[in-house]
Amino acid sequence: MPLTRLIKFFASLRLTVVLLGLGIVLIFSGTIAQVHLGLYKAQNEFFRSFIVFWQPDNVAWKIPVLPGGYLLGGLLLLNLVAAHTERFSLTRKKAGIWIIHMGLILLLVGQLLTDMLAHESTLHLRVGEARNYSESERAYELVVSDVTDSKAAQIVAIPERLLQKQGTVSPAALPFSVRVLTYDLNSALTNQAADGYDPVKVTGGRGTDGFWLKSIPRETVMDLRDLPSAIIEIVTPQGSGGTWFVSAYIGTPQSFTWQKHTYELLLRPERFYRPYSLRLEEFKHDVYKGTDVPKNFSSRLLLNRPETGEHREVLIYMNNPLRYAGETFYQASFDPDDQGTVLQVVHNPSWLTPYLACILVGTGLVVQFLSHLVPFLKRRRAP
Amino acid sequence: MKKWIPWLTVIVLAGWLLSTLRQPPETGFHTRDFGRLPVLLNGRIQPFDSVARNSLLQIRARQSLDDATADQWLVELMMQPAAADKRPIFRIDNIELLNLLGLPEKQKYYSFNELQPHGDDVDKQAQRIDHIDASDRSVFEQQLMKLYNAMQMYQQLKLTLCPVDSKDLGIELAVYQKLIPDGVAAVRAKEAGKKYDDATLTEFLGFLAAFDDMSKYALPLVVPPLQGAKSRDDWQNLGATLMSLSRGEDLNPATQSYVAMVAAYQNNRPDDFNQALDQYHQWVGQWYPAETAKGVHEAFYNFFQAFYKAIILYVLAFLLAVIALLTFAIAPKASETLRRTAFYLIIFTGLIHTFAIIFRMVLEGRPPVTNLYSSAIFIGWGCVVLGLILERVFAVGLGAAVASFAGFVTLVIAQNLAIDGDTMEMMRAVLDTNFWLATHVVVVTLGYASTFMSGFLAITYILLGLFTPMLIQKIGTGQVELGKILTKMVYAIVCFATLFSFTGTVLGGIWADQSWGRFWGWDPKENGALLIVLWNAIILHARWGGLVRDRGIMNLAVFGNIVTSFSWFGVNMLGIGLHSYGFMEAAFKWLMLFIGTQVAIIILGLLPTKFWKSFEAKKPAPAVKA
């Protein structure tokens, strides 16, 4: 029967050993690759992928060299499940093995869920500043806001993944469409002609000041962020409403008027709003006396939630995050002048799985080894 | 046979150890006693003795001089720098560097006086090199930076207790104190544009400039905070307290004592020095009992050099165990006596090892592993404990041999890691958590230790099997083949290694989740730990699946040494990630050498059985013709 043979194959210990071996090769090469690729890119190419490709410099082709993290993880999971349905019976002797493997399954599934569901952003606050949103570490958004009524601005945000497609976006809240003519995920900008740079040609806004633009590869270093630029056209029912240059380099909104309404354009890090705000009361950066070795970083914040009337102080410091409303806020960084804090905001619904998995596998390993060790020692004691 | 031999050996060696702890009473200047005084440096309270030893390690790569102790040297440097400048103590090995400085190549050590004329050259080069990434520096550049840092530190230490050109600090202080009212008046008058005495002003400002230099550059903070200070950490250096006199503050009792000691030393009056020292000991002991106790205890810890002595004892035990192992077939009784001696000796040395680790933990107020240095010490300890358990269970000398070997090697590694100076540095913010240091770090380090242990046992299997017939010789009360025993040992240890490395790795992930919200971030050190887990899992599964037999398991276990050494040291050399401690040129060479030897052993292990002394005997005897 080919099916039983297939199950046998997937349940085999030989496959386990091969997969673990490939895992070692993958992790080793993925670690070494970080030196050149940076953590983020190496992680995507080696661990968050199905196949790892090798591409020499300056060629168009690439060849698959290794199964990626997703493929190996998936196969190991399959191998584990198959082995348990095919080979193991649930007996007392095998109890340890069962617990270990259940823990491993939980760990793998949990990490897959984390990978799919977890969401990270950062919250940067200066002392005294309050914010009810955090910002994406990588993605940007184009904000078109109708500021005619300064008290009730209408804001439309177009996320980067739509901009990237370079098509036309027609948000319902706007009386016109936005056509993305070019979008560079990362760019370099100068104000004079330079080699490799193209002049920016637009009809309105800051773009007419004379900029030269170059598209550059995305950042791979962990702490550096991309600086995207785009040329967009406002497409009204009556035809083109002009072209604009928006860029992460231009930090202030550019405004234009159409049909007596004033609109503003801004390319900014993508924002995630919350029904509560955090205000930085105090940031502390303690060092050990007589050194510049940091002893502690802490942020004293005021949490304010109008809908529930919640209004209280919270303290976040190293190894002591704030868990609130399904999210966790960590002390991540700070401003060079010690007057601002950067919090990492993580939403991870499966954050508990590694804790449970660790307990399961640890218990399983102890049970399993004791069940071998105790009889062994007894046999030795007996004359 | 002779049951008393093992006991006697241990008692004799314990006697030797105790004899090294005896300190003869001091004559002349009581510098040893001075070395116990508490100061604040690197953010922690430590005795002058630690300052002296750690500075000398960085300058001279030794903890003492040929003709002086670290304490004697430091006292001289701080109180009579002109004499200290003549001592050849700066170690320079790099020929290029010597050529740059125009120094003769035949010496090993050079005095500050020899180096000073070339100080500008060193400064200039250092400024250039400072912009180069540490991992991109050439050997010459690294050596130059090392010399630059050593010279900087040396000059800063000089300013701890007196200005550079001080002749008699006692008299100078008296003159300065008397001058303060007139001096302050002269400064005010000058500022207000009124008449002032120029000589008074110049003299006064001269004092201030000298003390200001001290307050800016002096390294250890020697004056404890007075009662009512905001924080117990608010130590000051001597220069700052001398400056503050001009602002009308009282003379700090500590400053007074230190000035008295310096003056006595400058005038070569040991009795006055010792008296001032005793007085200060009393004063500081009364007001700062915890700090004083820390100083005294750490000075004792430094003096004990427990790990260094443990190295000697482990080597001795290793030799005994190896001889016991090699002779069990020829002279079983003598072999058993030797084995027992080695076993007891390792227990004794292990106790010293444990004692020193606990002493260190109490001094630091930390769990055992806080940096690479202490991880080496703890890995050694873990191996010794595992080896002793194996020896207790199997009693064939193998556990003893591997335990003592691992203890010796890891402690030697630790000694070499200590060369950079202070090994009890304060923990950076994110690491400042005893809970995770006590759980994740300890468990994962035990994982390293047990994986190494199985690797070392496997090496004995391969070496004994290839070069001796011992693997098939029956041993012990159960008369089991040595090879079978080794296989069991390796299997058991691999099981332990899996347990520790897995639990330790996942605990690390949980720590990461607690401190920055990511259970797993593919950081190099995390990956390294995961590699060990996977490798141990491979060994176990390959065995259960019947994919490998005894020799195969041994080869896999030896490869485990490579995986572990990569994870322990190799990833730190990549210079990336949260756990990176900078590139270590010398360590890299040794790591490559170690990996080379392991590969060689694996190749030996792959040789067909007909080349194995232990297995060739199993070949069927040639048929006899009828």
- Read off the pLDDT of residues B332-353 as tens digits, 9 standing for 90 and up: 889 999 999 999 999 999 999 9
Answer yes or no: are the C-beta atoms of A129 and A343 closer than 8 Å. Answer: no
What is the distance between the alpha carbons of residues A71 and A8, in angstroms, rounded to a whole number?
A: 19
Q: Residue B617 has what pLDDT?
A: 57
Domain that holds residue B72: 33-282
Our count of domains for chain A comes to 3
Q: A207 pLDDT band (50/70/90 cuts)?
A: confident
From CA A279, how far away is CA A340, in angstroms rounded?
11
Rounded Cα gap, residues A321 and A278, in angstroms: 14
Q: Considering the domain boundaries, does residue B305 fall inside one? A: no
Residues A250 and A266 in one domain: yes
Q: Is residue B377 within 8 Å of residue B307, measured between CB atoms?
A: yes
The reply to whether B300 falls in a domain is no
pLDDT bin (cut points 50, 70, 90) of residue A290 is confident
User: Is A208 found in the same domain as A329?
Assistant: no
Cβ–Cβ of B510/A355 closer than 8 Å? yes
**Is there a domain that residue B595 lies in?**
yes
Q: Under 8 Å CB-to-CB from B109, ≥6 apart: which residues?
A: B60, B88, B89, B90, B91, B92
Residues A369, B495: C-beta atoms closer than 8 Å: yes
Quick one: which of B422, B407, B348 has its CA closest to B377? Answer: B407
ipTM, 2 decimals? 0.84
Same domain, residue pair A58 and A80: yes
pLDDT for residue B107: 83
CA dihedral (B49, B51, B52, B54) positive or negative: positive
Residue A221 has a pLDDT of 65
Into how many domains does chain B fold?
A: 2
**How many other CB atoms are found less than 10 A from the CB of residue B248?**
9
**Residue B576: per-residue pLDDT:** 52
For residue A205, the SS3 value is: helix
Residues whose CB falls within 8 Å of the CB of residue A54, separated by 6 or more in sequence, listed in order = A62, A63, A64, A65
pLDDT in tens, B185-209: 999 998 888 888 888 899 999 999 9
Q: Which residue's structure tokens are 């949980």?
A: B510
The rounded distance, in Å, linking the Cα atoms of A110 and A352 is 8
Tell me the per-residue pLDDT of B466-507, one tens digit each, with 9 for 90 and over.
Answer: 998 888 888 766 778 889 999 989 999 999 999 999 999 988
- Which of B233, B429, B538 comes nearest A289 by C-beta? B233
Q: Could you say which of B282, B303, B329 is where a domain stops?
A: B282
B195 lies in some domain: yes
A145 and A244 in a single domain? The answer is yes
Q: Is the pLDDT score of B623 beyond 60?
A: no
Q: Are A106 and A356 in contact (CB under 8 A)?
A: yes
Chain B positions touching A332 (Cβ under 8 A) are 516
Does the predicted TM-score (pTM) go above 0.90?
Answer: no
pLDDT digits (tens, 9 = 90+) for B340-393: 999 999 999 999 999 999 999 999 988 998 888 999 999 999 999 999 999 998
Specify if B68 maps to a domain.
yes
Considering B256, B282, B308, which residue would you say is the last residue of a domain? B282
The angle subtended at Cα B585 by Cα B580 and Cα B589, nearest 5°, is 115
Closest to B545 (Cβ–Cβ): which among A14, A23, A373? A14
Residue in chain A closest to B538 (alpha carbons) equals: A17
Is residue A362 located within the same domain as residue A332?
Answer: no
Residue A329 has pLDDT above 80, yes or no: yes
Q: Are A369 and B495 in contact (CB under 8 A)?
A: yes
Q: Tell me: pLDDT of A194 over 90.
A: no
For residues B573 and B598, which has the higher predicted lDDT (pLDDT)?
B598
Q: Which residue from A16, A344, A377 is facing B541, i.e. has the nearest CB?
A: A16
Using a CB-CB cut-off of 8 Å, the residues of chain A touching B496 are 369
With beta carbons less than 8 A apart as the criterion, state whether B420 and B312 touch: no
My answer on whether A268 and A286 are in the same domain is: no
User: Is residue A301 domain-shared with residue A178, that is, in the same domain?
Assistant: no
Last residue of one domain, picked from the residues A272, A293, A314: A272
Band the pLDDT of A86: cuts 50, 70, 90: confident
| Interchain contact, B498 vs A365, CB within 8 Å | yes
- The first and second tokens of residue A28, run together, are 């080793």
Q: Look at the block and give the residue holding tokens 């076993």.
A: B343
**Last residue within a domain, chosen from B282, B314, B331:** B282
Please state the φ and ψ torsions of residue A343, each to the nearest 5 degrees.
-105, 140
Asked whether the predicted pLDDT for residue B580 surpasses 50, the reply is no
- What kind and span of H or E run contains A3? helix A2-11
Contacts B438 to A, Cβ<8 Å: none
Instruction: State the average pLDDT for chain A.
Output: 87
A93: left (phi over 0), alpha (psi -120 to 50) or beta: alpha
Q: For residues B352 and B355, what is the distance between their CA atoms, to the nearest angstrom?
A: 5
pLDDT at B138: 80
CA of B183 vs chain A CAs: smallest distance (Å): 31
Same domain, A267 and A202: yes
Reported as a pLDDT band with limits 50, 70 and 90, residue B405 is very high
Instruction: Judge whether B80 lies within some domain.
Output: yes
User: Which DSSP symbol is given to B370?
Assistant: S
Contacts of B509 in chain A (CB under 8 A): 354, 358
- Give me the residues of A, 114-143, that contact B with CB < 8 A: 114, 120
Asked if residue B625 belongs to a domain, the reply is no
**Rounded mean pLDDT, B423-438:** 80
Residue-number span of the structural domain to which A301 is assigned: 120-131+274-347
Average pLDDT over residues A51-66: 84
pLDDT at B624: 47
Among the listed residues A341, A314, A338, A340, the one whose alpha carbon sits nearest the alpha carbon of residue A327: A314
**Which residues in chain A are contacts of B41 at CB distance < 8 A?**
290
What would the 3-class secondary structure string for B147-202 be? HHHHHHHHHHHHCCCCCCCCCCHHHHHHHHHHHHHHHHHHHHHHHHCCCCCHHHHH
CA distance B161 to B24: 28
CB B339 within 8 A of CB B400: yes
Tell me how far apart the alpha carbons of residues B216 and A231 are, in angstroms, rounded to a whole number: 55
Min Cα–Cα distance to chain A from B92, Å? 28
Exposed (0-12), middle (13-18) or buried (19+): which is A234, by Cβ within 10 Å?
A: buried
Quick one: A151 and A204 in the same domain?
Answer: yes
Chain B residue with CA closest to A367: the answer is: B499
Classify residue B173: in a domain, yes or no.
yes
Within an 8 Å CB–CB cutoff, is residue A23 touching chain B?
Answer: yes
A150 with A187, same domain? yes
The residue in chain A having the minimum alpha-carbon distance to the alpha carbon of residue B514 is A319
The answer to whether B50 and B302 have CB atoms below 8 angstroms apart is yes
* Min distance A319 CA to chain B CA atoms (Å): 4
Instruction: Please indicate, yes or no, whether residues A103 and A153 belong to a single structural domain of this protein.
Output: no
User: What pLDDT is stored for residue B8 in this prediction?
Assistant: 92
Task: List chain B residues with CB under 8 Å of A30.
Answer: 522, 527
